[in-house]
Amino acid sequence: AANPLAFDDVDAQRQVLVGAEITTSGIELSPTLRSAFPRGLSVGRVVAVNSVASAVLQSADVQPTLDLDSVRTLLVILNYRGGLPDPVVTP
């Protein structure tokens, strides 16, 4: 099995559970600015959570779903609070 991935800088107030699946977000910020990956692709599963009670951030170890030696690009977006732009309607 591949070595776990480090999922760092997660808000300590967010609940991260061992066994949780991590997936791609597939967000689209504009017609020309969007994720290279569709929503819902499995990145891996959380195998350990690393947190300290007094810390602001926590991290997790994620066992990858796929062989990372064959992956060339991966985009992880944390704390995205915006929405998708309104669709452009043409008559």
- Give residue 56's pLDDT: 94
Q: Sketch the domain layout of the chain as residue ranges.
A: 5-66
Q: Are strands 5-11 and 57-64 parallel, antiparallel or unpaired?
A: antiparallel
Give yes or no for residue 27 having a pLDDT over 90.
no
- Give residue 75's pLDDT: 74
63 DSSP 8-state letter: E
- Contact indicator for 73, 18 with CB cutoff of 8 Å: no
pLDDT, tens digit, 9 for 90 and up, residues 35-79: 777 788 888 999 999 998 889 999 999 999 887 677 788 777 776
Neighbour count for residue 21 (Cβ, 10 Å): 12
pTM: 0.65
